[in-house]
Amino acid sequence: MHFSKTYSQLLLTLPPELRENAIQYRQLKKLIHQLVQELSSLGLSPTVLQQLLEQQNPASLTAQIEEIRQQYDRVSDHDENHQRHATVVYEFIKTSSQIEPRLRLSIKHPADATDVASGHTTTPDNILEALQLHSRALESNTASVDISYSSANTHDLIIPLRSDTAFFQLLNTALTSLAEHLNTVHGTFTSTLQCLAHAISSTARPTSSSAPRSFSTYSMAASNAATLRPSSGSRNTDLYSWREIFQIYVEAEIFESVGERTRGERSVEETETRMRRFEGRMQEKRSMLTLAGSKDALDVFMRMNVFILDLKRFQFANAEATRKILKKHTKRTALPLPSYLLSVRNSPLPASPPPTELALLPRPPASLPRLLVQAIGEILLPIVPHVDDYSCLICTSLAFKPIRLGCGHLFCVRCLVKLQKLGKANCPICRAPTVLKADRTNVDYALLNFMADWFPLESRAKLSTNEREAAKEELEEFGIAGGCRVM
Amino acid sequence: MDSKVGPPWQDMALPKRIIKETERLVADPAPGITAAPHEDNLRYFDVTIQGPDGSPFQQGVFHLELFLPEEYPMSPPKVRFLTKIYHPNIDKLGRICLDILKDKWSPALQIRTVLLSIQALLSAPNPDDPLATDVAKHYKEDEKDAQRVSREWTEKYASN
């Protein structure tokens, strides 16, 4: 299937506000067609141009120029001795309002300049006449041909390309408005995200907002697990449901892979598959949410992710359309586009950005879907503290009760006691000799309260594990090996 | 006789940390390293390490065994090369001379970090702290020739 067809079909599946900002592939294609006609009427059909631009040998270049000349000037007073060297340059003039592509034909007469100076029939003049005729025929007021004498025996012939100007005008406008639109999208997305963050935080409140505080610095006896009993089945918060939802979301790695071997942005297809799987899982989890606000928030959250996926498809299609249309431009006209124009759109990061004066087309911003995914990670996910961020590096469970060593590193009381019993003096993380110095005063009470508040279930579980382990150890220290055996 | 012994899985119960480490090793392995636990003993791992590029062990795949003692992570894992290797810090029996496997062990280290350290040891042999004294001597006296032997051994024993 033709790309233009695939492209327009894909655009139809996207939200209208994105569709309206897409590259107008068909129109651009028409302009390329016009440009080819324009060039052909100048005698610069793609084949001729191709040869002109590719030939490295000055002699054959001259021959080519001769051919062109002869197309317009049948009255050839062609001097066999004239060794003419000609070059064709396809160049861009960037004015404030638009890009004007043009062709510069430089024709050199190394032998004798008098012929030129005398105004005798020469190649450029004849081409000039032909071009002027051509421009009148086009009824164009913009197409004019300038001849300048850059040196005594070189003619510079400048041919503005009208359809090409229109082509770049259209492409440039499309890309500019696209960039603007994407900026707006970014802004809107971020503010929606902040609203959502607000909504979720009010449905995922810590237990302290419904239960009295369990801890104070005075109630630190090791066996006060009873006072820790959280209102686990609290009807006032969806804290644990949200934690699970976010956990599933992070693990789904929908848009980006964080694996060690496959790090990076995922392809559109892979993202679609993962999104479907995630949607399926959320269908189940939706019923876990008890508060009305939570369900609405989850729906908004899902819609935002679907939007990112749409945006990803849209950006991919647009980049593809831009790349293809520029490629088509080159292929049809044989005019060589600066290589960076063709390459930047393939890779997210160009190897070397072109100098500013050469940056003809506005570049798409750094992958917007990526930025949006990042925003979710920065604004939304931290609302619900994650247990991994508060776990002990040694036992990998919640670092409860938390002991802050003199060097600032955090471990659970149980692992710290084990280290001390083994006589290990150095901090496992930084090797500072802080372990044996730690005592009761190293309990981080602020963190302890925070943990009891946000991780009531984990705190309780860890506390009872600690107690069980300590009891077992005590028995072993008394010389009773293993569990209790009744023979 | 009414023999009430605690259910076997209670003693066998794997600490959460080991379960987590294993899951990650299997799901997201480090480049050039694999580690899979034995079905009947989840503390015993079959390990392979690819010889690092630019070392005489390049292209080789080395098999190792790794065992997590009861005290892990308070004590280091026990690791041994099963594939013969010509390296100044690895002896005939496959024992490895690496400080973090001995006195420099820290419970903040993991199976993953240990295996990465061993992989790094292949790139940077340390003949001044030898375990295989003859190999170390060879490495010190004629490094080029010693590397040639390392390559030969890699070809002979470590290519699948």
A247-280 residue pLDDT tens: 999 999 999 888 877 788 888 889 999 999 999 9
Residue B85 has pLDDT above 60, yes or no: yes
Whether the CB of A292 is below 8 Å from some CB of chain B: the reply is no
Mark yes or no for CB contact B29/A261 under 8 Å: yes
Beta-strand pair A256-257/A154-160: unpaired
Please write the tens of the pLDDT for every residue from A53-93.
Answer: 665 444 444 444 444 544 444 333 334 334 445 667 777 77
Mark yes or no for CB contact A260/B20 under 8 Å: no
The C-alpha of B30 sits at a distance from chain A's nearest C-alpha, in angstroms, of: 6
Please write the tens of the pLDDT for every residue from B104-135.
Answer: 999 999 999 999 999 999 999 988 887 778 89
Whether the CB of B7 is below 8 Å from some CB of chain A: the reply is no
What kind of architecture, by CATH, is found in domain B16-158? Roll (3.10)
Mark yes or no for CB contact A393/B107 under 8 Å: yes
Q: Which long-range contacts (CB under 8 A, 24 or more apart) does B146-153 make?
A: B146/B86, B147/B56, B148/B56, B149/B86, B150/B56, B150/B57, B150/B85, B150/B86, B150/B87, B151/B56, B151/B57, B152/B86, B153/B84, B153/B85, B153/B86
Mean pLDDT check: name the lowest of A122-131, B76-85, B151-160: A122-131
Question: What gap in Å lies between CA A109 and CA A391, rounded to an integer?
Answer: 81
Question: What gap in Å lies between CA A185 and CA A50, rounded to an integer?
Answer: 43
Look at residue A329 in the predicted model and tell me its pLDDT.
Answer: 84
Look at residue B77 in the predicted model and tell me its pLDDT.
Answer: 97
Look at residue A330 in the predicted model and tell me its pLDDT.
Answer: 81
Residue position matching structure tokens 């012929």: A115
* Residues A293, A203 contacting (CB under 8 angstroms): yes
Structural domain boundaries of chain A? 3-166, 179-383, 387-477
**Residue ranges in chain A whose pLDDT is less than 50:** 56-67, 69-84, 111-122, 137-144, 149-150, 212-233, 343-358
Look at residue A460 in the predicted model and tell me its pLDDT.
Answer: 93
Mark yes or no for CB contact B29/A482 under 8 Å: no
Question: What gap in Å lies between CA B131 and CA A46, rounded to an integer?
Answer: 73
Which of A388, A396, A458 has the most B C-beta neighbours within 10 Å, making it the best mutation to test the interface with B? A396
Instruction: Give start and end residues of each alpha helix (H) in A204-291.
Output: 225-228, 239-252, 268-286
Residue B8 has pLDDT above 60, yes or no: no
Question: What gap in Å lies between CA A435 and CA A341, rounded to an integer?
Answer: 60
Count CA atoms closer than 13 A to A380's CA, side-chain side. Answer: 30
Tokens of A394: 């040694």
Selecting from A395, A484, A486 the residue whose C-beta is nearest the C-beta of B17 gives: A395
How many beta-carbon contacts under 8 Å exist across A and B?
48
Superfamily grouping for domain A387-477:
Zinc/RING finger domain, C3HC4 (zinc finger) (3.30.40.10)
Look at residue A75 in the predicted model and tell me its pLDDT.
Answer: 35
Q: DSSP assignment, residue A154?
A: E
Nearest alpha-carbon partner for A459 in A217, A206, A218, A260: A206
pTM higher than 0.80 for the full model? no
* Residues A446, A216 contacting (CB under 8 angstroms): no
What percent of chain B is modeled with pLDDT above 70? 92
Report the catalytic residues of B. 97
Using DSSP's 3-state secondary structure scheme, residue A156 falls into: strand
Selecting from B6, B31, B73 the residue whose C-beta is nearest the C-beta of A261 gives: B31
Nearest alpha-carbon partner for A312 in A282, A276, A272: A272
Pick the residue from chain B with its C-alpha nearest to A251: B27
- Residue B37 confidence class, pLDDT cut points 50, 70, 90: very high
Whether the CB of B6 is below 8 Å from some CB of chain A: the reply is yes
Q: DSSP assignment, residue A380?
A: I
Look at residue A209 in the predicted model and tell me its pLDDT.
Answer: 62
DSSP string, A323-341: HHHHHHHHHHH-PPPPHHH
Structural domain boundaries of chain B? 16-158
